[in-house]
Amino acid sequence: MSLQDYRRKRNFAKTREPAPEDSARTGRRSIFVVQLHHASRRHFDFRLQVGDVLRSWAVPKGPSYDPKVKRLAVEVEDHPVSYANFEGDIEEGYGKGHVDLFDRGVWATQGDPEAQLRKGHLTFELFGDRLKGSWHLVRGAKKERQPAWFLIKAEDAYASDVEADDLLDAKMRESTRRAATTSRLRAAAKKSTSRKKAPPTSKTRRMSAASLTKAAAAVPRARKAKADNAFFPPQLARLRETPPKGEEWVHEVKWDGYRILTGIADGEVLLWSRNALPWNDRIPEIVQAIKGLGLDSARLDGELIALDASGRSDFNALQRTLSGEAQAPLVYMLFDMPYLQGYDLSRASLVDRKALLERLLAHAPKHLAYSAHNVGHGDDVFAMAMDQKLEGIIAKRANGAYRSGRGDDWQKIKRLESDEFAVVGYTPAKGSRLAFGSLLLAKPDGNDGWIYVGRVGTGFTDEMLRELGETLTKQGSKKPTVRIDAVDPTLRGALWVAPTAVAEVYYRGIGNKDLLRQPSLKALRTDKSPDDLRDSDRAPSAPSARKKTRATKASAKVAPADASAVVITHPDRVVFPDDGITKQDVVDYYRAVMPWLLPPIADRPTSTIRCPGGIGSPCFFQKHVMAGLEHVGTAKLKEETGAQAVYLYPRDEAGLIELVQFGAVEFHPWGSHVGSPDIADRVVFDLDPGEDVDWRRVVAAARMVRGLLDELGLVSFVRTTGGKGLHVVVPLNPGADWDTVKTFARGFAEAMAALHPLEFVATATKRFRRGKIYVDYLRNGRGATAVASYSLRSRPGAPVAVPLRWEELGKVKSGNAFDLRSLPKRLARLKKDPWEGIDEVRQDLASVSEKLGA
């Protein structure tokens, strides 16, 4: 099967299905999707992402949770990854009928999925809303054109008598009812309506909430405290050469993965990386497993790992799984619990905390594990780690409290000598080598600077070379950005950059020039920034290493590996004076929402609202390039007057953060891209309520706009503006010239005002707007802008413009319901982008303008 078959069977001028060109590796976890397809014969389409495609099977009766039931699964052509977002009607040709999204999530398997499929037996796990647990795909008798497989549920804690039809929601049942043209299908629809079963939950024995609360209260030095699922800084270890002696120390395996912190409050689970980024959407199987514990409130600390066939943590497999290149099963290895069921345990001894944690995890789902320890005998434990080729051990003071930050109560002893260094440049590629020859490395010099320690040129995969090459080789200076104490003739021709990525490197000691001996790359640490190295596990506890001023502690935060370093000056400057929100807070917010904010505005001419002195001082629009910008894109575009001017636009994270460094608070992109500035691909209707207009009227107005657009055959999306109103956004694909878009937008707005003169007005004159909603269409001209989704607004409270699903609009209380502090929590809870699929919508204005008489 291949995408050639997919293309051959479809006419993309007639079908709404995505074209094969839309298929590409996402850089995210590998997904699965199940779609209910009401074709000539109703069936479920079961799809697993393997590489850059969705391997697909048609399952006539749908998945069954009963391990005794073998469901026929007929292999069909591969589909593009973008097909996972497809819902709606296939109107003509192959597969004609209605498609509903039944379930979607991530999946995992132990080993190479392609090899398993070739052998005819794939064992895997699903982590969706409806489908969970372990499954098998087993190839049966081969057919000439379409191989027959069987989809079988494995015997596990989720096994039950639940069928796919039991899990249909009202929308799917209605689609089934409409499509039921035979008595057999009508009977199936009736059966699914009557059962209304919920997806099975994991049948694991666990301590009750009451017994957990009682056990937490009984821990010595436990204190009652309010639950909070916000990020908490983790306790960190110092590197030591040998394990400490004595029975007052316990020793654990050093797991090679990503540190993950868990906060639970009122049953809501939030996962955080060690640098306070939300991780719920990246590891849904871990969220699912933690929810299975049934906790009301807790704080958990552990390491996210991928296990190899020998039970050792495999960091490369972990990175490849998180990037979608592999599907290795993940495990959250838990080693501490500083809070449980309303009680702060941080002052309790480590062994008491771990004893309670072990009880909690005794019957936990398999993706959660307890990190056991040995009391004393550190040398023996370390020797065992060496024999088993583990990375090392962690020694912890048995009676120690849980204290955020680095201290001597936790000590790290490694098998192989390795350390983390900042990437500060590269040497050019030679021969067939991709992108670059080697990376130049540096470490902090103790005086807020960096010192060169050597270069690493081995241990890279082709994927690493490509990723780094896309960023590093587009920049660089011949002038070193760090201190060089040793003469290194190999640096001739090297190009230097400010500290960017963090590389973890194996090496065989330090040479006589204070350079690393025989370094080899272990991994690129995308979970860390160079600024983290200033407080590394090797940092001495002497006062000289700890002596930092307040300005130094709040000094420059460095962009992650895929962006250039941007120095943030005056991080303590207050931007929102009524709320105590500083420039660093604004930077941290934009970094946290970057995966959501950047894609919709990248490569669009963008105006910013700059408030260099904070929003209490004068702010102003900035759309042209200013002196000092190094990472922002520039484009020479025609002004409304016909003159040429150089406009700015963000290309990547570095450029956007650089604009924040220059005082930008808000971002307002064009409805077109710099590559085609005269073609608009967005129409924005700004619903701006006048005085005395209740919010419920604004919500009703947005729904009315959606309904009228729907009658014209146009799909629309909604967002809060961070102000008083709402935006209704219409994507265009293909786009249209600005005159056509502006004519349409004006005609639509005036039609609204004419149809409902007591509700709407299409003029900006304020005296006509009292008690009415202004349908602002003027954001749809060349050079006009609208506030970006997830942009802050320069108003008290630091409100944010936020995309919504239409279904949740009625739950939102105002246009400024979300702010800098609440939005990251919302994003951590989301299972998918509220505007998911907006770039795949195909619609234009050619026929619509005729309906409006434009």
pLDDT of residue 438: 85
* Residue at 368: amino acid letter: L
Beta sheet of 620-622, edge-to-edge order: 620-622, 606-610, 664-669
As a whole number of angstroms, the distance between CA 750 and CA 729 comes to: 17
Mean pLDDT on 652-677? 92
Mean pLDDT on 707-725? 93
Q: Percent of the chain having pLDDT more than 70? A: 84
The 10 Å Cβ neighbour count of residue 548 is 13
Quick: pLDDT tens for 294-317.
Answer: 899 999 999 999 877 666 778 878
Quick: pLDDT tens for 834-846.
Answer: 998 898 898 988 8
Cis preceding linkage at 365, omega within 30: no
pLDDT of residue 670: 94
Quick: pLDDT tens for 149-206.
Answer: 999 999 988 889 899 998 888 888 877 777 664 334 334 434 444 445 778 877 766 6
Bigger pLDDT: 830 or 27?
Answer: 830
Q: Percent of the chain having pLDDT more than 90? A: 39
* Residue at 248: amino acid letter: E
Q: Which positions ≥6 away from 150 have C-beta within 8 Å?
A: 70, 71, 72, 73, 136, 137, 138, 140
pLDDT of residue 554: 29
Note the pTM of the prediction, 2 decimals. Answer: 0.54
CA distances from 195 to 165, 167, 173, 787 (A): 9, 9, 12, 46
Q: Are 29 and 328 in contact (CB under 8 A)?
A: no
In 672-792, which ranges are E strands? 679-689, 717-720, 726-737, 760-761, 773-776
Q: Which positions ≥6 away from 432 have C-beta within 8 Å?
A: none
Nearest to 348 by CA among 402, 299, 302, 395: 402
Bigger pLDDT: 26 or 378?
Answer: 378
Q: Are 24 and 81 in contact (CB under 8 A)?
A: yes
| Burial label, 740 (beta-carbon count in 10 A; 0-12, 13-18, 19+) | buried
DSSP-based three-state secondary structure for 73: strand
In 702-846, which ranges are E strands? 717-720, 726-737, 760-761, 773-776, 803-804
Quick: pLDDT tens for 210-264.
Answer: 888 999 999 999 999 999 998 999 999 988 878 898 889 999 888 888 999 999 9
Q: CATH number of 209-233+251-375: 3.20.20.70, 3.40.190.10, 3.30.470.30, 3.40.50.620?
A: 3.30.470.30
pLDDT of residue 695: 94
Out of 254, 396, 443, 522, the active site residue is 254
Buried b (16+ CB within 10 A) or exposed e, 154-173: eebbbbbebbbbbbbeeebb
pLDDT of residue 414: 81
State which H helix or E strand residue 829 sits in: helix 823-829
Q: Give the domain ranges of the chain.
A: 3-195, 209-233+251-375, 418-535
pLDDT of residue 321: 86
Q: Are 373 and 349 in contact (CB under 8 A)?
A: no
Between β-strands 43-50 and 53-59, what pairing exists: parallel, antiparallel or unpaired?
antiparallel
Q: How far, rounded to the nearest angstrom, does the alpha carbon of residue 678 sit from its chain's CA centroid?
A: 32
pLDDT of residue 191: 44
**DSSP calls for 388-444:** TT-SEEEEEETT----SEEEEEEEEEESS-EEEEEEEEEEE--TT--SEEEEEEEEE
The 10 Å Cβ neighbour count of residue 442 is 25
As a whole number of angstroms, the distance between CA 805 and CA 802 comes to: 10
Q: Is the pLDDT of residue 541 over 60?
A: no
Q: Which residue in this structure is represented by tokens 């073609």?
A: 679
Residues making up the chain, counted from first to last = 854
* Residue at 74: amino acid letter: V
Mean pLDDT on 320-331? 84
pLDDT of residue 536: 63
pLDDT band at 374 (very low <50, low <70, confident <90, very high): confident
Quick: pLDDT tens for 96-155.
Answer: 888 899 999 999 998 889 989 999 999 999 999 899 999 999 998 765 567 889 999 999
| Burial label, 240 (beta-carbon count in 10 A; 0-12, 13-18, 19+) | middle
pLDDT of residue 140: 86
As a whole number of angstroms, the distance between CA 41 and CA 18 comes to: 22
Q: Is the pLDDT of residue 418 over 60?
A: yes
| Burial label, 74 (beta-carbon count in 10 A; 0-12, 13-18, 19+) | middle
CA distances from 527 to 257, 533, 550 (A): 10, 12, 25
Residue 641 DSSP class: T
Max CA pair span of the chain: 87
Bigger pLDDT: 434 or 651?
Answer: 651
As a whole number of angstroms, the distance between CA 92 and CA 368 comes to: 48
pLDDT band at 641 (very low <50, low <70, confident <90, very high): low
As a whole number of angstroms, the distance between CA 28 and CA 830 comes to: 16
Q: Measure the CA angle with vertex 21, ends 17 and 25; round to 5°.
A: 105
Q: Fold for domain 418-535?
A: OB fold (Dihydrolipoamide Acetyltransferase, E2P) (2.40.50)
Q: Are 631 and 658 in contact (CB under 8 A)?
A: yes
As a whole number of angstroms, the distance between CA 727 and CA 716 comes to: 10
Mean pLDDT on 52-63? 91
pLDDT band at 16 (very low <50, low <70, confident <90, very high): low
Q: Is the pLDDT of residue 432 over 70?
A: no
DSSP-based three-state secondary structure for 814: coil
Q: Are 98 and 88 in contact (CB under 8 A)?
A: yes
Q: How far, rounded to the nearest angstrom, does the alpha carbon of residue 155 sit from its chain's CA centroid?
A: 32
pLDDT of residue 555: 30
Buried b (16+ CB within 10 A) or exposed e, 23-47: beeeeebbbbbbbbbbbeebbbbbb
The 10 Å Cβ neighbour count of residue 466 is 12
Mean pLDDT on 364-393? 83
Q: Does the active-site annotation cover 254?
A: yes
Strand-pair partners of 609 = 621, 666
As a whole number of angstroms, the distance between CA 280 and CA 127 comes to: 13
pLDDT band at 545 (very low <50, low <70, confident <90, very high): very low
Query: Any alpha helices (H) in 276-364, and if so which ranges?
Result: 284-291, 315-322, 350-360
Query: Any alpha helices (H) in 453-532, and if so which ranges?
Result: 462-472
pLDDT of residue 433: 52
* Residue at 341: amino acid letter: Q
Q: Is the pLDDT of residue 513 over 80?
A: no
Q: Is the pLDDT of residue 548 over 50?
A: no
Q: Is the pLDDT of residue 769 over 50?
A: yes
The token pair at 737 is 């010239």
pLDDT of residue 182: 37
Buried b (16+ CB within 10 A) or exposed e, 179-190: bbeeeebeebbe
* Residue at 146: amino acid letter: Q
State which H helix or E strand residue 385 sits in: helix 378-387
pLDDT of residue 511: 62
As a whole number of angstroms, the distance between CA 141 and CA 53 comes to: 24
User: How would you write 135-157 as a 3-class SS string?
Assistant: EEEEECCCCCCCCEEEEEECCCC
Q: Which positions ≥6 away from 326 have C-beta within 8 Å?
A: 30, 317, 320
As a whole number of angstroms, the distance between CA 797 and CA 753 comes to: 33
DSSP-based three-state secondary structure for 76: strand
pLDDT band at 850 (very low <50, low <70, confident <90, very high): low
Q: Is the pLDDT of residue 584 over 80?
A: yes
As a whole number of angstroms, the distance between CA 530 and CA 560 comes to: 8
pLDDT of residue 512: 56
Sign of CA dihedral 212, 217, 221, 227: positive
**Number of helical (H) and strand (E) elements in the chain, helices listed first:** 19, 40
Between β-strands 392-397 and 405-414, what pairing exists: parallel, antiparallel or unpaired?
antiparallel
As a whole number of angstroms, the distance between CA 629 and CA 651 comes to: 13
Angle, helix 738-755 to helix 695-711, in steps of 10 degrees: 120
